[in-house]
Amino acid sequence: MNDLLQQLRRGLDQPLPGETAQYRMAPPARPRLADALPADDSPRQSAVLLYLFPHEADWRIVLMKRTADAGPHSGQISIPGGQVEPGENHLQAALREFSEEIGVTVERWQLLGQLSRLYIPVSRFVVRPFVAYGQTRPAFAPDPVEVARVIEMPVTALLDEASVARCTMQVRGRAIEQVPYFAVDGHRVWGATAMILSELKALLQAS
């Protein structure tokens, strides 16, 4: 299992696949980062943490289903994370948000690296994804206000092309056809979450 960690360390330490990998799972007509960023270059800053741990002869990735709070990402499957607060950097925000939402403390020594940033137009956030690992399955204690359910996505499912499908999604009152998503435990993982996972998948598939 350590082979996966070594592969990720190598991949994250080299030039990343970036938008080439992200946009394999992007909804149709989603603008590229350079075109989507506001003209005044003042998007809000956020960070997420992709946390991997070994379980039952596989590695798993921690995702979560957000509660129905009427926000722009209400009820969606997401990667734990949130807004960068004053006085902290992106990594500190990712670690803090993971602890607050999932109830698991992640130390800096567990960090493997950072993926490419991604802009989310609907919420005006630029997201910086970090990747970390644990040596055992953690004891989850999710925040019931923000987290409806913790989802453990097997890495084998991420790499399995049979997990990728397409459907019509309602996005801000408009039907978007042929939206790609990962089918995970009965859930559709799409949008920014799927795009971030797609870059992780590209690193794991690299020789």
The Cα–Cα gap between 63 and 67 comes to 13
Question: Which pLDDT belongs to residue 72?
Answer: 57
Structure tokens at 14: 């080299």
In the chain, where are the structural domains located? 2-155+189-205
Instruction: Please list, in sequence order, all residues whose beta carbon lies within 8 angstroms of the beta carbon of residue 33, skipping any fewer than 6 positions away.
Output: 19, 117, 118, 119
Q: Half-sphere exposure of 3 toward its Cβ, with a 13 Å CA cutoff?
A: 7
CB atoms within 10 A of CB 102: 22
CATH of region 2-155+189-205, choose from 3.50.50.60, 3.90.79.10, 2.40.10.10, 3.40.50.970: 3.90.79.10
Question: Which pLDDT belongs to residue 30?
Answer: 85
Instruction: Please list, in sequence order, all residues whose beta carbon lies within 8 angstroms of the beta carbon of residue 192, skipping any fewer than 6 positions away.
Output: 78, 118, 120, 127
Instruction: Give this prediction's pTM.
Output: 0.94
Tell me which H or E stretch contains 40.
Answer: none
Beta strands 147-154; 81-83: pairing state? unpaired
The CA-CA-CA angle for residues 74, 76, 81, to 5°, reads 85
Residue 111: closest CA among 63, 202, 49, 204: 49
Do the beta carbons of residue 176 and residue 169 sit within 8 Å? yes
Question: Which pLDDT belongs to residue 172?
Answer: 66
Low-confidence stretches of the chain (pLDDT beneath 50): 70
Question: How many residues are given for the chain?
Answer: 207
pLDDT digit string, tens, across residues 165-179: 999 887 767 788 899
Question: Which pLDDT belongs to residue 176?
Answer: 81
